[in-house]
Structure 1
Amino acid sequence: MKIKSTSRRRVTLGLMGASVAGILPSMVRAESGYPARPIRVVIGFAAGGGADAVARLICTSMSADLKQPMVIENRPGANGNIAADVVTKATNDGYTILYNTSSLVISPHLYTSLPYDIKRDLLPVAEVAAIPLVLVVSPRLGVKSMQEFVANLKANPRKLNYGSSGTGNITHLSAAEFLRQVGAKASHVPYKSEAPAVTDLLGGHIDFYIGNANTLIPHVADKKLTALAVTSLQRLPSLPDVPTLDQTVAKGLEMVAWSGFMVPKGTPDAVIAKLASTAERVLKTQTLRSRIEETGAMVRWAGTSEYGRILESETDRWGKAVKASGVRPE
């Protein structure tokens, strides 16, 4: 499907000078008065999930600061691609923005044809949060540390199995990358979503899983699952006794489901700057930071330029992970 460019029409200097003089001030006034109406925030995952919960907390605070509602629109499906496509087709005036997750940079390596292109059709605003993953095992394995778990994996190649929320999902690729880093092998059991994977792990039908912290922490607290490591470089406040992969068996390895805001290509720089500065301001408040941490996520800030560089490096990184995992693009 061919995407038509939604970039702003450029005004050519030297033609109709008087008209240009009248147009430019009106454009400046329009942008300086942004936002003048509610902002639609499209997210590619269902309401109630980890990414949705964090997005709603951030958007509620930003709404109060901007004095305009930021209305969440859930468009789940296709690993976030449906939501991204909706935003690339929207008017580039700052009133439709994308709350994207790291799936955005994984999708180009999983699908042979996408209706949009990240570089061509979207612009970064800011990275705002990350949901660390947690490596949990079934208590029936009887392991209490990452070192003990890796030794078990190496002594029993491919005999242990791990679940994922779907082939090519970050829960699959993170497990594959972990196994590659420690030099171990295990069997992959893909599920259609996180819920059935966790259910089977609780039932002892699979041995381990690397999934979203906010989903797994309640089961760890109830001692129904054993948390061996978190995938961020820092320990989680909600799991202070659980070490990181970096501290145990995989030095320097970090795998988190990060998220941020993006807008259609051609959105005015002033609008992007307004959204980024507002997000940065509200994320500095301790109340919001604490509420985000309570969900199992954490604030992770990167401004517009830095977020652009992160998107490029993460696209390359997860491309290599997809290739190493053996997943074939659909």
Structure 2
Amino acid sequence: MKPLHADPTRRLALQALAALVGGSALPAAFAAPDYPSRPIRVVVPFAPGGTVDVVARMLTPAWGELLGQPIVVDNRSGAGGMTGADNVAKSPPDGYTLLAFHVGLTYGSALFKKLPYDVKRDFQPVGLLGATPSILVVNNKSPVRSVGELLALAKKDPGALNYASAGIGASSHLAVELLQVVTGARFTHVPFRGGAPAVTATMGGDTQMMVETSASVLPHIKAGKLRALAVTGESRLADLPEVPTMKEAGVADYVYTTWFGLWAPAATPAAIVQKLHQATQAALDKPATRQGLARAGVEVRHASTAEFEKLVHADVDKWSQIIKSAGIEPE
């Protein structure tokens, strides 16, 4: 017999029932009248300083105020986010251990042969947090000054240029894989244990380029340590009005944005999920949160738990097809 959480439809039905009947017919844990009664741990599966870490820490003060308990960010990097995600998947479904991740969570099943969790089965989506384009950057001392020059070098000597990423399966990994598929250029992947060390390597010249979320690289671009060649979204960034989009730079079929979200372990009671969702929506609407995320290049996005779950499941399927089409073999 399958465990209850293995059937998403049945899980959602049970959660809806729990929300309707509250504490009158179910244990107090399901009605969650006293939740939260102790600090909540938010696992960020990347090193401090990366975009997911920035987003989570921007929300922490508002979350703590709204929920009435301290929110502790726990950075557990490794394996492209898989280490931290697995920790949450195997945690008790009581609302005290949550996962902050980005669209990269949906890549795992196509990238790893032995993924220790199932994204559709083992996590309960809580809420969408925001979205941001990425920026194609090189070291500021690099002779490359345009996307065209970069692609010409990569095609002249395939694999000679190294690109940094936050790890296998990270957003910064798949962004370049997609670029290779679209352009035919070839780069060599150098994965790190998080976005911050990957950015540091690019600034130091250990790697030649990367495609990283704007929140992680904007400060270094403004400090003159990185050179922005293009923005991966549909439009230019207000903070970098002189930097073209990839389409404007000549790569017509390339658009890449990263969304961020919050998850709980599967089978977390619906009342707890709803309370977390409501707190998250309220936190995102606070002016201080919006302004802080905007400074980091992240645009606030709202979605119901059902809408967010639909997005997650659709992206699992979409990226599985893209990764397979790119010829990327699961590791």
Query: TM-score normalised to the size of structure 2?
Result: 0.81
- Equivalent position SS for 1:301: coil
Could you say which residue in structure 2 is the equivalent of 1:73?
Answer: 74
Give the superposition deviation at 1:260: 1.0
Give the superposition deviation at 1:261: 1.0
Could you say which residue in structure 2 is the equivalent of 1:128?
Answer: 129
Q: Distance in 1 between matches of 2:108 and 2:273?
A: 24
Could you say which residue in structure 1 is the equivalent of 2:256?
Answer: 255
Q: Distance in 2 between matches of 1:310 and 1:46?
A: 26
Residue identity in the other structure for 1:292: L
User: Alpha-carbon deviations, 1:26-51, whole Å to 9, x = none?
Assistant: 54884244333332222212333331
Could you say which residue in structure 1 is the equivalent of 2:18?
Answer: none
- Equivalent position SS for 2:133: strand
Q: Distance in 1 between matches of 2:22 and 2:326?
A: 57
Could you say which residue in structure 1 is the equivalent of 2:8?
Answer: none
Give the superposition deviation at 1:142: 4.6
RMSD over aligned CA atoms reads: 3.2
- Equivalent position SS for 1:241: coil
Q: Distance in 2 between matches of 1:133 and 1:281?
A: 26
Contact 1:168 1:327 in 2 (8 A): no
Contact 2:47 2:196 in 1 (8 A): no
Higher mean displacement: 61-70 or 41-50: 41-50
Contact 2:23 2:31 in 1 (8 A): no
Give the superposition deviation at 1:190: 1.4
Contact 1:232 1:254 in 2 (8 A): yes
Quickly say closer, same or farther: Cα 1:21–1:108, change in 2 above 3 A.
Answer: closer
Contact 1:122 1:263 in 2 (8 A): yes
Residue identity in the other structure for 1:222: A
Give the superposition deviation at 1:124: 0.8
Tell whether 2:167 aligns with 1:164: no
Give the superposition deviation at 1:64: 0.5
Quick one: percent identity of the two aligned structures?
Answer: 34
- Equivalent position SS for 2:131: strand
Could you say which residue in structure 2 is the equivalent of 1:186?
Answer: 186
Q: Distance in 2 between matches of 1:179 and 1:187?
A: 8
Tell whether 2:255 aligns with 1:235: no
Q: Distance in 2 between matches of 1:145 and 1:282?
A: 39
Quickly say closer, same or farther: Cα 1:38–1:21, change in 2 above 3 A.
Answer: closer
Could you say which residue in structure 2 is the equivalent of 1:304?
Answer: 305
Q: Distance in 2 between matches of 1:40 and 1:159?
A: 41
Higher mean displacement: 280-289 or 41-50: 41-50
Give the superposition deviation at 1:271: 1.9
Give the superposition deviation at 1:239: 2.2
Could you say which residue in structure 2 is the equivalent of 1:16?
Answer: none
Residue identity in the other structure for 1:35: P
Give the superposition deviation at 1:317: 2.6
Tell whether 2:209 aligns with 1:213: no
Give the superposition deviation at 1:319: 1.9
Could you say which residue in structure 2 is the equivalent of 1:268?
Answer: 269
User: Alpha-carbon deviations, 1:76-101, whole Å to 9, x = none?
Assistant: 22222222222222222322222222
- Equivalent position SS for 2:301: strand
Q: Distance in 2 between matches of 1:21 and 1:231?
A: 45
Q: Distance in 1 between matches of 2:32 and 2:177?
A: 46
Residue identity in the other structure for 1:192: F
Quickly say closer, same or farther: Cα 1:192–1:29, change in 2 above 3 A.
Answer: closer
Which stretches in structure 1 are left out of the alignment for 5+ residues?
11-19
Quickly say closer, same or farther: Cα 1:138–1:5, change in 2 above 3 A.
Answer: same
Contact 1:130 1:298 in 2 (8 A): yes
Quickly say closer, same or farther: Cα 1:28–1:324, change in 2 above 3 A.
Answer: closer
Give the superposition deviation at 1:138: 4.3
Could you say which residue in structure 1 is the equivalent of 2:87?
Answer: 86
Residue identity in the other structure for 1:243: P
Quickly say closer, same or farther: Cα 1:126–1:138, change in 2 above 3 A.
Answer: same
Give the superposition deviation at 1:227: 0.7
Contact 2:22 2:30 in 1 (8 A): no
Residue identity in the other structure for 1:242: V
Which residues of 2 match residues 90-105 of structure 1 at below 5 A?
A: 90-105=91-106
Could you say which residue in structure 1 is the equivalent of 2:320?
Answer: 319
Which stretches in structure 2 are left out of the alignment for 5+ residues?
6-10, 15-20
Query: TM-score normalised to the size of structure 1?
Result: 0.81
Give the superposition deviation at 1:130: 3.1
Q: Distance in 1 between matches of 2:91 and 2:273?
A: 15
Which residues of 2 match residues 3-14 of structure 1 at below 5 A?
A: none
Residue identity in the other structure for 1:185: A
Higher mean displacement: 319-328 or 200-209: 200-209
State how many pairs are aligned: 316
Give the superposition deviation at 1:132: 3.0
Give the superposition deviation at 1:4: 6.9
Residue identity in the other structure for 1:58: L
Residue identity in the other structure for 2:163: G
Quickly say closer, same or farther: Cα 1:25–1:207, change in 2 above 3 A.
Answer: closer
**Greater Rg over alpha carbons, structure:** 1
Contact 1:164 1:209 in 2 (8 A): yes
